Chains A and B, each alone.
Chain A
Amino acid sequence: MRELYKNVGSRIHQLDARVKITLTLAFIIFLNLTPFKAWPAYILFLTLIISVALFSRLSFGFVQKRSLMVLPFILAAVPLTFTRQLPYVLVPVFQGIEVPYSPEGFERFASIAFKSWISVQAAIILAATSRFPDLMNALMQLRVPKIFISIIGLMWRYLFLISEEVIRMMRARASRSATMPGSHPMSGSIFRRASVTGGMAGSLFLRSLERSDRVYAAMLSRGYNGELPASEATALAGQDWWFLIIGIPLLAFLWILGMLTGG
């Protein structure tokens, strides 16, 4: 598990996180408001997000590889192709078995997959160009409850520590479960394997509960009074306003184009 943020110091990195969150959300909302089959608009949305990725100096391969993680979910939309949406043709696949293939349904499926792929790239750029504290500050100024921000902030602080603990546990399990090559990676029946893993989960939660007691005591002894210190709210700079003033109408324009071309 690794943080996505990469400090390569581009203009996009320096942009206020509030602007980045707003624009990412606007991008995803306008893209998803675009009807099915609005291919010209989709291409422009894709052009836009790839240009932003380039100006963020993120490597093309990094963004694309990361965006593949939406792939498994796309399976959920595949059936649209075969559900007898009019007009459909019966395509024989095997003796006597015919599949109702609907070009209309396929195009809907392709639209969903494409939109999903573009949306996730926007989310990747947001995470890869914003530092975690900046994101949290921005969310706080965008009126997300303070206590929730504190919870997520503390979660982030311990996430990598605890995930290393999990990796150590799994390594310990692997080293204690010797098996013949080619057999199951872990020995014993499925119930034994499950109960070993369950024991690991139980001890993880036990350790974490105890850790939280210690952390709380340490926080109290350093003067914690229920709120984490927050940095001052700053006004948006000129550059930030420019991005908003040009970005939102541009997205709205692409959406209108999509409404005109889609079906």
Chain B
Amino acid sequence: MLFSPVLSPQAMHIPDGFLSVIVSIVLWVISAIVVGIALKKTNNELGEREAPLMGILAAAIFAGQMLNFSVTGGTSGHLLGAAIAVILLGPWPAVLVMTSVVSVQALLFQDGGILALGANIMNMAIVGVFVAYTVYALVSYLFKKQSRGIYVAGFVAAWSSIFFASLFCALQLAVSGTSPANISIPAMGAIHALIGIGEGLITTGALVLLSATRKDLLRGGDNKPASNKGVIIGGSILVLALVALSPMASSHPDGLEWVADQHGFIELAKASLFQIVPDYAIPGISNIALATIAAGILGAVIVFSVAYGIARTAIPTSTQESNQR
């Protein structure tokens, strides 16, 4: 029971506070660019059908994440859904669907942070989808002759999407200096290697049903291989980079230069601030602890009254009416 919250897809939704602002913003920018490309490609392919199809499938994936089956001792297998989305829709629409899911979870259900949303989109909607597509394409190519190939491919793709997304997530935490790389990378990797099995089993089960009922849908992944070449290249680079980087980062527990750099930056900014505000203790109280407590209470009162003030006073009656429409 203790591990059941950890062994669920929620274990990959990074809340705010865990990523440094620089890492968050860099990942926001990268995610925004990739999602922009996905919007363009999907719009070209689906046209005005895009919104209803993507919207309803995103709702289905979000709701489908409630599906679980008990594994053992209170733990349960869950679905994240990146792989099944890739297999049904192809990579670019899957990026959009997963981005919508992750965004709604962050914005309306606080599952994952708002500043960390860029990172969560990166992990679950971009790394998850790219890796799943690359692995699915590769494995189903290897099993070309056998009809069971898609099941194996689906299982491996689903497992890899979870596993590599979690490695990337652990690297982000390590670079932000919030979780030591030599612990977070093996731990995240191991936990998600297990979660990935649940994901793989559910994905395979879904593929068995879909190939028995609507086999035509399962070609979604490979109907336009030319336009998806970029995804395969991107996915391969991600897999190789993560495989290479993870052991390297793990052997430098606190040594990622980034952390040091940021620390240096903070020291620099602090030094300059001290020059502007040389002494901020309350005059007249000699005891340092007392002065700190007094300053704290004073600060809390000021903050509270400012919040009270703007909440209370600055309300022209006209806006009240216009907002009650």
Q: Which residues of A contact B (CB under 8 A)?
A: 1, 3-4, 10-16, 24-25, 28-29, 31-33, 35, 40, 43-44, 47-48, 51-52, 55, 66-67, 69-73, 75-77, 79-80, 83-85, 108, 112-120, 123-124, 126-127, 132, 135, 145, 147-148, 150-159, 161-163, 165-167, 169-170, 184-186, 190-191, 193-209, 211-212, 215-216, 219, 224-226, 228, 234, 237-240, 242-243, 246-247, 250, 254, 256-257, 259-260, 262
Say whether B145 faces chain A, with CB atoms less than 8 Å apart. Answer: no
Within 206-225 of B, Cβ neighbours of A (below 8 Å) are at 206-210, 213-214, 217
Q: Which residues of A contact B179 (CB under 8 A)?
A: 76-77, 79-80
Across the two chains, which residue of chain A brings its CB closest to B14?
A73
Across the two chains, which residue of chain B brings its CB closest to A220?
B48
By the criterion CB–CB under 8 Å, are A83 and B64 in contact?
A: no
| B11, B56, B101, B206 interface centre (most CB from chain A within 10 Å) | B56
By the criterion CB–CB under 8 Å, are A197 and B67 in contact?
A: yes
- B206 → chain A, closest Cβ, in Å? 3
Q: List 15 A-B contacts (CB under 8 A).
A: A4-B108, A11-B311, A29-B21, A47-B303, A116-B16, A119-B114, A145-B36, A151-B51, A159-B63, A162-B59, A169-B67, A194-B77, A226-B48, A246-B310, A259-B270
Say whether B30 faces chain A, with CB atoms less than 8 Å apart. Answer: no
Contact with B39, one of A77, A147, A225 (Cβ below 8 angstroms): A147
Contact with A85, one of B36, B178, B254, B273 (Cβ below 8 angstroms): B254
Known A116-B15, A208-B59; contact A76-B173, beta-carbon cutoff 8 A: yes
Q: 13 additional contacts, CB 8 Å, given A35-B270, A66-B110, A70-B17?
A: A1-B109, A73-B13, A77-B179, A119-B16, A119-B17, A119-B113, A123-B106, A148-B100, A151-B50, A155-B59, A155-B101, A206-B209, A212-B56
Q: Majority SS of interface residues in chain A?
A: helix
Q: Which residues of A contact B187 (CB under 8 A)?
A: 76, 79
Say whether B43 faces chain A, with CB atoms less than 8 Å apart. Answer: yes
By the criterion CB–CB under 8 Å, are A159 and B104 in contact?
A: yes
By the criterion CB–CB under 8 Å, are B312 and A11 in contact?
A: yes
Say whether B140 faces chain A, with CB atoms less than 8 Å apart. Answer: no
Within 39-65 of B, Cβ neighbours of A (below 8 Å) are at 39, 43, 47-60, 62-64
Contact with A72, one of B6, B56, B210 (Cβ below 8 angstroms): B6
By the criterion CB–CB under 8 Å, are A25 and B316 in contact?
A: no
Docked complex Cα distance between A84 and B254 (Å): 10
- A11 → chain B, closest Cβ, in Å? 5
Q: Which residues of A contact B106 (CB under 8 A)?
A: 123
Contact with A151, one of B54, B69, B213, B314 (Cβ below 8 angstroms): B54
Say whether B165 faces chain A, with CB atoms less than 8 Å apart. Answer: no
By the criterion CB–CB under 8 Å, are B59 and A159 in contact?
A: yes
- B107 → chain A, closest Cβ, in Å? 7
By the criterion CB–CB under 8 Å, are B67 and A158 in contact?
A: no
By the criterion CB–CB under 8 Å, are B66 and A167 in contact?
A: yes
Docked complex Cα distance between A40 and B299 (Å): 9
By the criterion CB–CB under 8 Å, are A44 and B300 in contact?
A: yes
| B10, B18, B50, B318 interface centre (most CB from chain A within 10 Å) | B18
Q: Which residues of A contact B269 (CB under 8 A)?
A: 259
Docked complex Cα distance between A72 and B10 (Å): 9
Across the two chains, which residue of chain B brings its CB closest to A157?
B55
By the criterion CB–CB under 8 Å, are B180 and A80 in contact?
A: yes
Docked complex Cα distance between A108 and B254 (Å): 13
Known A73-B14, A256-B273; contact A123-B209, beta-carbon cutoff 8 A: no
Q: Which residues of B contact A47 (CB under 8 A)?
A: 299-300, 303-304
By the criterion CB–CB under 8 Å, are A123 and B114 in contact?
A: yes
Q: Which residues of B contact A29 (CB under 8 A)?
A: 21, 115
By the criterion CB–CB under 8 Å, are B18 and A76 in contact?
A: yes
Contact with B57, one of A10, A186, A208 (Cβ below 8 angstroms): A208
By the criterion CB–CB under 8 Å, are B84 and A211 in contact?
A: no
Say whether B253 faces chain A, with CB atoms less than 8 Å apart. Answer: yes
Known A76-B178, A155-B55, A199-B208; contact A14-B324, beta-carbon cutoff 8 A: yes
